[in-house]
Structure formats: structure tokens, C-alpha cells
Amino acid sequence: MFESMILGEESSPNQMCVDSLSSGDPQQLLLALRQMKNVVIGSNRQKTNMVICGAIPKLLQIQADFSSSPELLLESAVVLGSLAKGTDDNIRSLLNANAVPILLKGLGHSDIKYVEASLRCLRTLFSSDITPADYLYNDGSVVPLLIQILPVSLCTQECITNIIAKCCKNTEQQDILCNHGIIQALAPLLTSNCAQVQLPTLQCFAVICYQNEKVAYAVSLHVFSASFDGGNILDTLIRLCGREQSDTMQLTAAKCLTFLCRAGAIQPKETSIVMKALPTLVRMCKKTKKVSERIEGAETLAYLIEVDTELQRMASISDHLVKTLAHYLRWHSTTNNSNSVADMRKIGEDLKYSSQLKQAAFKAYASLGANDEDIRKRIIETENLMDHVVTGLSDSSMHVRMAAVKCLHSLSRSVQQLRTSFQDHAVWKPLMKLLHNASDDLLTVASSTLCNLLLEFSPSKEPILESGAIELLCDLTRRENAALRLNGIWALMNMAFQADEKIKSSILSNLGTQQMFRLLSDPSVDVLMKTLGLLRNLLSTKPHIDHVMTLHGSDIMQAVVLILEGEHATEVKEQTLCILANIADGSTAKEYIMNNDDVLKKITNYMIHANVKLQIAATYCISNLVWNEEEGALERQAKLREMGVQKLLQQLLSSSDTVLFDKVKTALQQFT
């Protein structure tokens, strides 16, 4: 009761202040606004009290009335800006009251001081993740207006660049900004003498180019050739990577170069990347830098080198990077154990930093080890690295789990490590656990890793099979997500390679022939190819071939015919002919071919195909059919001789392709 009375007493003057905003006297209203401004400045408690007392609707009513004097508009915008700097609840109240559209409309006013105050308030609102970026794009007049008033003053430059840097989040928004001329408008600001303008301008260039080839091309076309203060924009970005600049400026400039490179506007071998962006990002990973800069530096570096082998090699030997990243995984805060509010807040912040550091390190290691065996070896030999990766697979943060799986996927490309470190740490256990409860994105990377662990030479293959992998992978092939279908069938293909009959039968029974044939008509060529690969692996070794064909021979032959008759790429038809060659290698299975004149005719047609790979595959199939050491060879040879196959083989002896020539020669030698 006592607390309630105190709060009531304190809110009374605030309520009177808010009520006075309804005054019809402009001077009294101006006085009330200035009084409110002085009360709320620097005090979140007073800001909240004013919001509770209903200040926001009255302030916005003043804003919405363009007939109000510039002084009233200015002061009300300043108070709104102050309220926006309070709690998240204050921001929600402003958004619910439709503050953003009203403030955006005010940017068309002729009074620059009022426009600047509105922009400062908008900058505060958009700096919060609570505020949707869509406000800028829902009304087609907002972006052109922002670009129009951008050069008016330092304040408009600073606020608008900050707003755009925060509110450009997807390809559609990048394209809208580009189409309205944002590149040309921002370019001169890169050489601004004001760091508060130059830095967010750099950030704008980074976000508008991120994963957008069209915008990156526009940047290279319209900006790199333009001169500002004696140099072009590329020269400016290179200069801003210099050590004489602030760390934040260096990092953001390197980020710009990185995004332009990945979007195709700059080649990875260019000096700006090799001598500036890459070394700058490596430098930002050092222990002496701020934690936030180390995180951003490592993540940007991971993105820069992700797909370029030479950049990966250069980064791996730059400034002890592999060891430097290991410190990210061992980072801990220096906060004393205390129950104070400040220390508890610091502990929460440190936990966030620890999670982000792990995520950044795993991403960087994943990119570093993507292609080079020696680099992977150095990464894995880093102290306790595999322990950290395995622990990361069970981290409470989904982002850390994702980064740990990406790192594991990269390292799993090493045959040597699959046989040693992966087996020593029983990596398959947390990976299988992860696969049973994961989002599609995480499941895609995790199942890609599982594909590698199921390779024939991996010691993890057997325990993975025993843990129910077949059922899980067959389920993946039924997903709508094409990447998951691909990984599911790819892993099954690896699993079936040189497997015993029990495993093959389990795959067939769990997958089902209907699903197998659905996958053979999948719109994804990659899925189709891996399904054919699975079928080819299932149809290997004579007893297995005969067993599978006894159970599913008619369906398999029907699927083969459909593919050979369809409009498919050469590699698809080659794989299909190789399946026929495997069937032809069976003892009883080969009769499925010999008793099907349509299939035999197709094989002979492919023997004289324009593509030599298809000729080789078809000839190999014939060779298996006529192999003279097998029962019934004479009858098969006679039938094929009547079909003109022997003559076709003799004609093919003139081939200049050595592989085809050898296959033809072997096949002819079988005819008696």
C-alpha cells in the first residue's frame, strides 16, 4: 500500500504534464513540451511514467498536424526521440501507436531542424530489433524521400545511413534501394571527414551487396570507375583497411570488400582481397581486439574464404590463425562471483559472448578445412579441438550447434581423420542424437556429415547402422526439402556400397520400391543420380544382383526403360546403362535383359551413340551378357549375333578412344 501511494504521488505531476499537452494555447503547449523534455531526459523511469500517463498519443497528434508550428513539431519529435531511448516496452508502445509512419511522413516538412529531430527518433526506433524494416518499403515514397534528403546535413547523413544499414535485410530490399539510386547517393559519403557518417555508409555498402550479384555488379559498374577526392571507391575501401584507421572502420571496410568479392564484383585473387581484406580480417581475430570485433572478424573471414581454396591456404598460414581461433573456444569472463545486478548483467553478456565466440571459431575452422587435407590435420591437432566440437553438438544454442556441425562436416572430408580422431571421439553418437530432433537447416548439414561417416572405409559405419540410421535416412528421402532428400539417398548409397545382403535387404524394405521409383522421377537431377547410384550399389556381386532382381526385377527394368527413353542428361543415362551392366553380370538376373528385346535394342542403339561415355557403358553391358565362361553364353551370343551386335563391335574397333577400344576388344573376344 505504501509503495502504491508513493507511485501515485509521483505520477500526479507527470499526469498533469501529459494533460497539458491538450492545451489549445500554442505557448502553453510549447512550455509543456519543454517541461516534459527536461523531465524525461536521462531517466528511463520518468520516460515510462510519461508513457503510462498517455503521452505518446498526444505527442503523435501534434506530429500528425502539419499546421502546427515548426517549434511544436520539433519539440514533440525530440520528446518522442527521448521516449524511444527508454525500454523495449516504450518502443512497443510507440510502434503500437503508429509512430513510425507518422514520423516518416514528417520527413517531407520544409523545416530542417524538425526533419533532423524526426530522423534521430527514427534512427533510435530502427536500431531496435523490435521495429520491422518493412516500414521503409511499404510506402513507395519513403526510400526516394530518404535519398533526397540524405545530403542535406551531417545529421541527415548520419541518421539515414544508420537507418538503411539496419533496414536492408533481404534481396528485395537491396534491389529497391539500388533501383532508387542509393549507390550513387552513398558514394560521396565514403570520403566524409565525419566518422559518424563514414562508418554507417560503409555498413550500408556491405548490407546492400551481401549475396546480391545484381547490386554488386551495379556497384562495380557505377562506382568503381567514379572518382571522389582523387580516387575511386575501391581505392577508398582499401585505404580504410589501413592500420591507421579505427578497428571498427578497418573491419567494416574489409567486410565491404568481402561481400563484393563473394557477390562476384571483385575476384578473390585481386590485391584488394589478398593484401587488404584477408590480412585485415585475420588481424581482427587477435586476442588484443575487442570481443565483438573478434567475433565479427572471424565470421567475415569464414565467409570470405568459404569457397576459395587459395584464400583458405593463405589464411591458414597467416599470423597463427589456427591457434588464435582456439582461444575463442577457451574464452571465459573475468566477472567476479557476485549477486549484484550489474555483475549478473555482465555474466549474462559474457555467456552471450562465449556462445558467439564458439560459433565464430567453428565457422572459421569449417571454411579453413573445406578443401585441404594438411589444413584439416593442423586444425584437428589443435589442443582439444575435437572435444570442443563434440561438446558444441549438444550446446544449448542452436547457432553453436549449427556451426559445430559445419565444422565437423568440413573435417569429415578427411579419410585419415574418419579413421582416427572421429573414431576416438565417437563423433557419431552426438551426431545421431542431433539428427533425431533438428530444424531442416541443421538437419541438412548434419545429414551431409553422416554421408561421409557412412563411407566404406569409415569405422563409424557399423555403429551408425546399429543405431537405426537406415530408418532415419529413408525418412529423409520422403521430405519436401530437396537437400534433405538428396542427403538421405546419398547416405543410403554410401551405406549400400560393398554392403552385405542383410544391409541391402534392410534398405530395400525400409525404403520400399514405390519410394525408390518416386525418387527415380525426382525433379532434382542430383537426387535422381544418387538414387541410381544406390540402385547400382544394391545390384553388385552376383548373389545380391540375382536376389534383388528376383524380388524387384520387373519394376527395376521398367524404371530403366523410362529413364533411357526420357530427356535426361548424359550422366544420368550413363549411370542407367551401368545399372544394366550390373544386372547383366548376375547369373539369373541377366535373363531380364535377354528376354526384353526393347531393352536390347536400346543398348545396341547406345553402342553407336555420339557420346563415347554412353558407348562405353553400353559395350560393357554387352560384354557381361556374352561372357563365355557363364552358363547359357552360347545362346546369348547367338541371339545378339543375329541382332547385329558382333558387327557393331567390329565397326567400333576403329574408335580412337582407348577405353572404348579396350571394352570392344574384350567383348569381341567372348564371341566363339
* DSSP-assigned states of every residue in 160-184: HHHHHHHS--SHHHHHHHHHTTHHH
Task: Specify the residue for cell string 502546427.
Answer: 68
pLDDT at 629 (0 to 100): 86
CA distance linking residue 472 with residue 474, whole number of Å: 6
pLDDT at 66 (0 to 100): 77
CA distance linking residue 294 with residue 285, whole number of Å: 4
Would you list the domain boundaries of the chain?
Answer: 1-131, 139-151+164-284, 542-672
Which whole-number Å values give the CA distances from 24 to 71, 143, 238, in the listed order? 15, 35, 58
Specify the 3-state DSSP secondary structure of 228. Answer: strand
Residues of the chain with pLDDT below 50 are 1-11
pLDDT at 1 (0 to 100): 32
- What lies within 8 Å, CB to CB, of 611 at 6+ separation is 570
- 184, amino acid identity: Q
Per the document, the length of the chain is 672
- Whether residue 133 contacts residue 167, with contact meaning beta carbons closer than 8 Å, is answered with yes
Q: What is the pLDDT of residues 232-265, one digit of tens each?
A: 788 889 999 999 999 999 999 999 999 999 999 9
Rg (CA), the chain: 34
CA distance linking residue 482 with residue 346, whole number of Å: 43
- Whether residue 400 contacts residue 363, with contact meaning beta carbons closer than 8 Å, is answered with no
CA distance linking residue 191 with residue 199, whole number of Å: 10
Domains 1-131 and 139-151+164-284 agree in fold:
yes
Q: Is 406 exposed, middle or buried (0-12, 13-18, 19+ CB in 10 A)?
A: buried
- Whether residue 309 contacts residue 372, with contact meaning beta carbons closer than 8 Å, is answered with yes
CA distance linking residue 351 with residue 345, whole number of Å: 10
CA distance linking residue 225 with residue 520, whole number of Å: 51
Instruction: Give the count of beta carbons closer than 10 Å to the beta carbon of residue 146.
Output: 25
Going by C-alpha positions, the residue among 55, 57, 65 that lies closest to residue 26 is: 65
Locate 433 and state its grid cell.
Answer: 542424437
* CA trace torsion 45, 50, 51, 52 (10° rounding): 90
**Vertex 348: Cα angle to 344 and 354 (nearest 5):** 140
Helix ranges restricted to H, 454-596: 461-466, 469-476, 482-496, 501-511, 513-519, 525-538, 542-565, 570-584, 591-594
- Whether residue 383 contacts residue 340, with contact meaning beta carbons closer than 8 Å, is answered with no
- Whether residue 511 contacts residue 474, with contact meaning beta carbons closer than 8 Å, is answered with yes
CA distance linking residue 217 with residue 209, whole number of Å: 9
CA distance linking residue 620 with residue 625, whole number of Å: 9
CA distance linking residue 47 with residue 41, whole number of Å: 8
Locate 382 and state its grid cell.
Answer: 589443435
For the chain, what is the largest distance between any 2 Cα atoms, rounded to a whole number of angstroms?
115
CA distance linking residue 382 with residue 325, whole number of Å: 10
Going by C-alpha positions, the residue among 19, 25, 91 that lies closest to residue 55 is: 19
Which helix (H) or strand (E) segment holds residue 40: the answer is helix 26-40
Going by C-alpha positions, the residue among 611, 633, 612, 631 that lies closest to residue 622 is: 633
Q: Is the CATH number 3.40.50.300 carried by domain 542-672?
A: no
Q: Is 672 exposed, middle or buried (0-12, 13-18, 19+ CB in 10 A)?
A: exposed
Count of alpha carbons within 13 Å of 151, Cβ hemisphere only?
A: 9
Q: Is 469 exposed, middle or buried (0-12, 13-18, 19+ CB in 10 A)?
A: buried
pTM of the model: 0.86
- Whether residue 416 contacts residue 402, with contact meaning beta carbons closer than 8 Å, is answered with no
Question: Which residues pair with residue 231 across a beta bridge?
Answer: 228
Round the average pLDDT of the chain to a whole number and report it: 91
pLDDT at 348 (0 to 100): 62
CA distance linking residue 411 with residue 389, whole number of Å: 10
- What lies within 8 Å, CB to CB, of 506 at 6+ separation is 470
551-554 contacts, C-beta under 8 A, 24 or more apart: 551/508, 552/508, 552/513, 553/589, 553/592, 554/592
- Whether residue 130 contacts residue 170, with contact meaning beta carbons closer than 8 Å, is answered with no
Locate 162 and state its grid cell.
Answer: 544508420
Locate 341 and state its grid cell.
Answer: 545486478
Backbone φ and ψ for 245, nearest 5 degrees, come out as -85, 165
Task: Specify the residue for cell string 544418387.
Answer: 530
Task: Give domain 1-131's CATH number out of 1.10.1040.10, 1.25.10.10, 3.30.930.10, 3.30.70.260.
Answer: 1.25.10.10
Domain 139-151+164-284's class? mainly alpha
